Amino acid sequence: MKRIPLFFTVFLLSLSAVLADNDYRYFVDLTKTDNDKVQVKLVPPDFTEDEVTFMFPAIVPGTYAIYNFGRFISDFKVVDKNGANITYTQSDKNTYKISNAKNISYITYNVQDSWDYEQKKSEVKEDVVFEPAGTNIESGKNFVLNTHGFFGYFKNMTDRNFALEVKKPKGFYGSSGLSTIKSGEDTDKIEVYGYHRLVDSPMMYCQPDTAFVEVGGSRVLISVYSPNKKINSAYIAHNISEVLQAQKSYLGGTLPVDKYAFIIYLNDKPTQSGANGALEHSYSSFYVLPEIDSLYLAQTMRDVAAHEFFHIVTPLNIHSEEIGNFDFNNPRMSKHLWLYEGLTEYNAHHVQVLNGLIDIDKFIEVMQGKMSEAQTQYNDTMPFTFMSRHVLEPKYHKEYNNVYAKGALINMCLDIQLRYYSNGKYGTQNLMADLSKKYGKDRSFKDEELFDEIERLTFPEIRVFLNTYVAGNQKLPFEKIFDMVGLIYTPLLEKEEISLGGFGLGFNPATNRAVVYETEKMDEFGKKMGFKEGDEIVLFNGKPITMDNYKDVLFGFLQNAKVGDKLEVKVARMKKKKEKIKSLKAKVMTVKVSIPNFITVNKDATEKQVIARNAWLGLKQ
Asked whether 420 and 437 are in contact (CB, 8 A), the reply is no
Residue limits of CATH 1.10.390.10 in the chain: 209-310, 313-485+607-621
Strands 173-175 and 203-206 come out as antiparallel
CATH class of the 209-310 domain in this structure: mainly alpha
- What pLDDT is stored for residue 508 in this prediction? 84
Could you write out the three-class secondary structure of 581-604? Answer: EEEEEEECCEEEEEEEEEEEECCC
Res. 118 pLDDT band, cuts 50 70 90: confident
Taking the C-alpha atoms of residue 233 and residue 211, their distance in angstroms, rounded to an integer, is: 6
pLDDT beyond 60 at 9: no
Res. 25 pLDDT band, cuts 50 70 90: very high
Per-residue pLDDT tens digits for 307-346: 999 999 988 889 999 999 999 999 999 999 999 999 999 9
pLDDT beyond 60 at 1: no
Specify the amino acid at residue 348.
A
pLDDT beyond 80 at 296: no
Sequence-separated (6 or more) residues with CB below 8 Å from residue 257: 218, 282, 283, 312, 316
pLDDT beyond 80 at 293: no
Select the highest-mean-pLDDT range: 493-497, 577-581, 597-601: 597-601
Of 426-430, 452-456, 488-492, 550-554, give the lowest mean pLDDT range: 550-554
Question: What's the average model confidence in pLDDT over 357-378?
Answer: 96
Per-residue pLDDT tens digits for 157-207: 999 999 999 999 999 999 999 998 999 999 999 999 999 999 999 999 999
Asked whether 591 and 604 are in contact (CB, 8 A), the reply is no
pLDDT beyond 90 at 507: no
CATH number of 313-485+607-621: 3.40.1180.10, 2.40.30.20, 1.10.390.10, 3.40.50.880?
1.10.390.10
Question: What's the average model confidence in pLDDT over 573-586?
Answer: 92
Asked whether 28 and 164 are in contact (CB, 8 A), the reply is yes
- What pLDDT is stored for residue 10 in this prediction? 32
What residue spans of 310-343 are helical by DSSP H?
A: 321-324, 337
Res. 3 pLDDT band, cuts 50 70 90: very low
- What pLDDT is stored for residue 297 in this prediction? 82
CB-based burial label for 121 (10 Å; 0-12, 13-18, 19+): exposed
Res. 17 pLDDT band, cuts 50 70 90: very low
Asked whether 201 and 281 are in contact (CB, 8 A), the reply is yes
Helix axes 233-250, 344-354, angle to 10 degrees: 90
Per-residue pLDDT tens digits for 229-266: 999 999 999 999 999 999 999 998 888 888 999 999 99
> Which position has the higher pLDDT, 3 or 82?
82
> Which position has the higher pLDDT, 298 or 320?
320
Question: What's the average model confidence in pLDDT over 434-452?
Answer: 94
Question: What's the average model confidence in pLDDT over 53-78?
Answer: 96
CATH code for 24-199?
2.60.40.3650
Prediction pTM value: 0.86
pLDDT beyond 60 at 7: no
Question: What's the average model confidence in pLDDT over 95-108?
Answer: 97
pLDDT beyond 60 at 20: no
Taking the C-alpha atoms of residue 61 and residue 315, their distance in angstroms, rounded to an integer, is: 10
CATH code for 495-595?
2.30.42.10
